[in-house]
Structure 1
Amino acid sequence: MLGLFLAALDQTVVGTALPRIVTDLHGNDIYTWAFTAYLLTATISGPIYGKISDLFGRRPVLLFAVVVFLVGSLLSGLSREMLQLVGSRALQGLGAGALFPIALAVIGDMYDPSERGKYQGLVGAVFGLSSLIGPAIGGVITDTIGWQWIFFVNLPVGAIVFAVIWRTLPSVRPSATAPRIDYLGASVLVAALVPILIGLTNKQFGSWTDPSVGGLIGAGLVIAAVLVWVESRSVDPIIPLALFRNRSFTISVIAMFMASMAFFTPIVFLPRWFQVVGGASATQSGYQILALLGGLIISATLSGQLVARTGRYRELALGAPVVLAIGLFLLSNLRADTPLPLLWSWMFVTGVGVGPIFSIFTLVVQGAVAPRQIGTATSSLTLFQQIGGSVGLAVAGTVFGSRLAEELPRQLAAASVPSQIVDALPRSGVAMQQLTGVGNLGQAILASAPASARAQLEPFVPAIVDAIHRAFSLATASTFVFGIVGAVVAVVVVLFLREAPAKVLVQELSGEEAA
């Protein structure tokens, strides 16, 4: 749990420190790669680690991953230029790629299906807690002792994780036969995922038809088709295609993919709304989503306990995306003047819907496959969760930009702003981002105007700011409508899930091991 918390925390702790890092390292042109490099290597390495852990055991893989993560943390803190930081963050992600799925697989190894629920529920709580305190920790450390220490602080914690794994996790090799590693499959998997993830990341700066967006995604999908052909002919594939003939596994993967598309939208767009419309700082906006994460933590923990006691999970698997859809529907009513207590209640409902999803489907997958495939199956589920989040954010960003461009002239006209001023406002994507940035928006509007026009513009600045806030709120609300579609698809898919009670799974797996 501590190792998983460490890796999850590093995904969020950098956000509030990034402006200072970019200033010190003079890397504004590639600042997004501080996130992208970490996400990229963590995502593509997960399935490979999962398969290797099934072949060689969890302990050596986890120990190796912790060492790689700590080396990456040390080099990140010592970075003196932006490219060096990006490379170090990629190394960090290479270590974190094992900490997520292998920690979940260890739970599957150590506990019977009837007991896994309570611990998988704690995993969901760990994700929520790390998302909550990460921005705050990053802000406090950056403002007090320097941004380098958001990386250096990993070193003592990681050393404890390494010592605990070394002393307590048994060294068990699943098979006495010589393992066969699918090097070709691993290479093609990396070749497919890299352009897809980079293309989705580039979407925030371009359109779907750009070669750096649609071109890369298309190339990745073509290579993914080649991967299917390669894996179908491999003796011991990295991603066994036979897993997708398992009804429970396939339903869980699709449901997790769609739910991630739905959930990551409020996680990203709500803090931005709090900053732009509510005037909150980056750290304050992290605390503003406490209601969302509180609902997630409570429902994840309680759902795990409920499954452990009753052995039933289908009702939870079906009900969670329904509640998520309801929460997103409520959030789709967001407006610039929405009272904060009402917004927090909508966020809490959304969090309640998310909590069980991350624990229940991991439990279903681990109970649906043979013990020797738990690592591979768990890492594959994690892979589709991360890709679903990336796809969701890319599509939601497109929806947001289109709605903002549509609403801004309409809201300015409704505020009785003269048409010549409306026509003079910039319409490009970059300029629209500047108009909806954080800070004193009124001063930014005046500063961007020619000195000769400021006297005429100044009386209309309050009306322009209000119109921008209304347009921004409507655009943000439209992203949640897209999330509703993802949640509803997850509900439909789960309807086809056949439940095998956890206590029955214990008997089935015991018989399989005996055979």
Structure 2
Amino acid sequence: MASPYSGWPFRFRLMGSLALPIFLETLDYTVVATAQAKIASSFNRLDLQSWIGTAYLLTATVFLPLFASVADIFGRHAAIQLSLLCFILGSALSTGAISMTMMLLGRGIAGVGAGGILAVARIIMADVRSLSENNFQSGMLVTMYIMGYCFGPVIGGALVAVSYRWVFALNLPCSVISMVAVYFLLGDRLNGPQSRSAPGSQGRDVDLRPRLLAIDFFGAFLFVSGIILFMLALTWGPTFAWGAPRVIICFVLGILLVISCLIWEWRLGHSSANQADAFASNIFCATPILPFSVFKNMDVVICQYVAFVSGMAMFVNFYFVALFFTIVSNLSATKAALRLMLFSTGIATGNFIGIPLVKTLRQPKIPVVIGCFALPVAAGLMSKAINSDEQKEVMGFLVLSGASVGLTFLPLSIHARFKQPEDRVATVEALNFFFRGLGGAIGLAYCAALMNSRVNRYIADILASQTLSAADALSLSTLSSGSITSLQFVDQLSPEVARHVRIAFQVGLRWVFISLIPWGVAAAIVVIFLSRIEDSDKVARSGTLESASIAPHTEKIHDLP
């Protein structure tokens, strides 16, 4: 029987219902990446500009596996409608933000919805167990993303020129339209029996309480709290010194909470495997967001590490190249967004190379290997171009960086999914995006810390050289990465001091891309050890042929006396 998740009718329904939310999500990445310095400047908190992207990425990452659980327990339709509702709420808070705290809260809630949209859309597509159909649907999804990446900066740039608030306000009516479209175009397909029963229940007809208990809220709380504290330590380190009590306390508490999360996740997995332990099954009844059993497969572990590095490269390129254009090159957010379209072009190129390779070679490992080898090369060339302040070179290497990410984007997901049984499709799919988003969130935090450290070191070195006039030296001595509150503040400095501030950021950004090289080299090494996947379509065809060849013989046997 044909799957309800394949064929052209379903493909058109999928595109019609998910095109808008996917476009809005990409608009947040492309436009906010270039506008975040302007947004932070409006609240005089340029030191927190990286958190506008980090807050969104962090919540989107953590809630990816949670929405996988929601999609399994409550069904795909309920999960995607909840995602859109969270996206609306977060966008509304960001639109009306009157402080940096309110802005970050709105970005975090919008990230929850974005994570859900991303996870559930991929899970719906992964519900069909066919390499060819997965490859086609993945290509269709990426095409929608690329359209958002290409047209988003143009539309968003025009909105930012009026007010950055319009970027978030645009999400409100479009998300409502998406909720209606999902209901009418996909509702009948997504209300089918795809969800698993909650632990201790019988089928889908269960009470709300056991379903809610099956979602790992406590694990998510531990993980989010630990990562936020760890990132706060990275943010405060360059400003208050790495040995400051607040920095040390955040580091220690963050690490302890993450370790506690891992222990909790292990205990959840152990309890679900040991149903004889009645007490444990009642207390630890949630579905773990990080199922340890999945990581027993080495291919899955390698795929998640490469997804982590790929996510780090993707978001570091988006956000920190945007800083190069807006701070070092002193371009407007609109012009910076248009230049960032080259990164989207690179991602599109990588995907349009990778998808035919998977279709022809029937092995997603090949484009992954090519992308992983290109990634550290692109990072090294980008650091060289930033160091020489060559805008044209930076723009050219943006295409190469995007292609290295695009080559790994979908093949990684397909490879990991085909190394696990069908009942783990949602989990593995969510984990792939979880580690990609986690790489982006951690990459933004540690790269921001590295950039700020290098900015402060450059300022200290130029003061020690005593090459400035007394007035300029006095002005520069009061500055640090944390005291530069806005882009307008930089423009108000004397030309010589402003020039050194821009050079300081240029040096810091160069080291950001140098720091990506060892991560990329490690990914290029481990990806070689990926094994081959089984071609499900070939196996299905072989099974059909075998059945056809056996059937006539069976009839002859029945004809015997």
For this structure pair, what is the TM-score category when the shorter chain's length is used for normalisation?
0.7 to 0.9
- Pick one of 370, 393, 402 that aligns with 1:351: 402
Q: Tell me the equivalent position of 1:106.
A: 124
Q: Kindly indicate whether the alpha-carbon contact (under 8 Å) linking 2:354 and 2:407 is maintained by their aligned counterparts in 1.
A: yes
Q: Kindly indicate whether the alpha-carbon contact (under 8 Å) linking 1:34 and 1:86 is maintained by their aligned counterparts in 2.
A: yes
CA distance in 1, matches of 2:371, 2:117: 26
Could you report, residue by residue, the CA deviation over 1:333-380 in whole angstroms, capped at 9, with x for unpaired residues?
134644332222222211111112221111112222222221121112
Secondary structure of the structure 2 residue equivalent to 1:312? coil
Q: Tell me the equivalent position of 1:385.
A: 436
Q: Kindly indicate whether the alpha-carbon contact (under 8 Å) linking 1:54 and 1:376 is maintained by their aligned counterparts in 2.
A: no
Per-residue deviation, 1:382: 1.4
CA distance in 2, matches of 1:142, 1:234: 51
- Pick one of 388, 391, 402 that aligns with 1:340: 391
Note the 1:321-336 alignment, pairs <5 A: 321-335=372-386
Secondary structure of the structure 2 residue equivalent to 1:401? helix
Q: Kindly indicate whether the alpha-carbon contact (under 8 Å) linking 1:191 and 1:220 is maintained by their aligned counterparts in 2.
A: no
Per-residue deviation, 1:326: 0.9
- Pick one of 226, 243, 257 that aligns with 1:220: 257
Q: Tell me the equivalent position of 2:203.
A: 178
Q: Kindly indicate whether the alpha-carbon contact (under 8 Å) linking 1:265 and 1:483 is maintained by their aligned counterparts in 2.
A: no
State, as a whole percentage, how many aligned pairs show the same letter.
Answer: 22
Could you report, residue by residue, the CA deviation over 1:389-422 in whole angstroms, capped at 9, with x for unpaired residues?
1222222223323333334455678894358955
Could you report, residue by residue, the CA deviation over 1:134-176 in whole angstroms, capped at 9, with x for unpaired residues?
45534422444x5554334224432342233223331222357
Q: Tell me the equivalent position of 1:6.
A: 24
Per-residue deviation, 1:260: 2.1
Q: Kindly indicate whether the alpha-carbon contact (under 8 Å) linking 1:8 and 1:130 is maintained by their aligned counterparts in 2.
A: yes
Could you report, residue by residue, the CA deviation over 1:223-269 in whole angstroms, capped at 9, with x for unpaired residues?
22332332233327333221111222211111111222233222222
Q: Tell me the equivalent position of 1:457.
A: none
Gap change, CA 1:123 and 1:200, over 3 Å in 2: farther
- Pick one of 177, 187, 206 that aligns with 2:237: 206
CA distance in 1, matches of 2:358, 2:267: 38
Q: Tell me the equivalent position of 2:269.
A: 232
Q: Which piece of structure 1 moves more, 365-374 or 33-42?
A: 33-42
Q: Which has the larger radius of gyration?
A: 2
CA distance in 2, matches of 1:24, 1:422: 27
Secondary structure of the structure 2 residue equivalent to 1:93? helix
Per-residue deviation, 1:320: 0.3
Gap change, CA 1:320 and 1:472, over 3 Å in 2: same
- Pick one of 160, 171, 176 that aligns with 1:154: 171
Per-residue deviation, 1:480: 0.9
Q: Which amino acid aligns with 2:434?
A: L
CA distance in 1, matches of 2:29, 2:164: 15
Aligned: 1:477 with 2:515: no
Aligned: 1:300 with 2:351: yes
Q: Kindly indicate whether the alpha-carbon contact (under 8 Å) linking 2:418 and 2:534 is maintained by their aligned counterparts in 1.
A: no
Q: Tell me the equivalent position of 2:519.
A: 486
Could you report, residue by residue, the CA deviation over 1:45-91 in whole angstroms, capped at 9, with x for unpaired residues?
22111022123432221123223333444455456666655555444
Secondary structure of the structure 2 residue equivalent to 1:332? helix
CA distance in 1, matches of 2:324, 2:46: 23
Q: Tell me the equivalent position of 1:276.
A: 327
CA distance in 1, matches of 2:102, 2:324: 32
CA distance in 2, matches of 1:233, 1:366: 22
Q: Which amino acid aligns with 2:287?
A: P
CA distance in 1, matches of 2:390, 2:35: 30
Q: Which amino acid aligns with 2:260?
A: I
How many residues of Structure 1 are paired with residues of Structure 2 in the alignment?
492
Q: Tell me the equivalent position of 1:454.
A: none
Gap change, CA 1:79 and 1:477, over 3 Å in 2: closer
Gap change, CA 1:23 and 1:403, over 3 Å in 2: closer
Gap change, CA 1:40 and 1:316, over 3 Å in 2: closer
Per-residue deviation, 1:194: 1.7
Aligned: 1:188 with 2:218: yes
Could you report, residue by residue, the CA deviation over 1:113-150 in whole angstroms, capped at 9, with x for unpaired residues?
12322432444454455455545534422444x55543
Q: Tell me the equivalent position of 2:277.
A: none
Q: Kindly indicate whether the alpha-carbon contact (under 8 Å) linking 1:185 and 1:230 is maintained by their aligned counterparts in 2.
A: no
Gap change, CA 1:502 and 1:164, over 3 Å in 2: farther
- Structure 2: give runs of 5+ residues left out of the alignment: 1-17, 205-209, 273-285, 545-561
Gap change, CA 1:79 and 1:417, over 3 Å in 2: closer
Gap change, CA 1:158 and 1:376, over 3 Å in 2: same
Aligned: 1:95 with 2:113: yes
CA distance in 1, matches of 2:506, 2:50: 24
Gap change, CA 1:155 and 1:469, over 3 Å in 2: closer
Per-residue deviation, 1:508: 11
Q: Which piece of structure 1 moves more, 193-202 or 41-50?
A: 193-202
Gap change, CA 1:349 and 1:248, over 3 Å in 2: same
Per-residue deviation, 1:11: 4.3
Secondary structure of the structure 2 residue equivalent to 1:368? coil
Secondary structure of the structure 2 residue equivalent to 1:333? helix
Per-residue deviation, 1:498: 0.4
Q: Which amino acid aligns with 2:126?
A: G
Note the 1:430-509 alignment, pairs <5 A: 430=481, 433=484, 438=487, 441=490, 444-446=492-494, 461-462=495-496, 465-503=498-536, 507=540
Per-residue deviation, 1:15: 5.5
Q: Which amino acid aligns with 1:172?
A: G
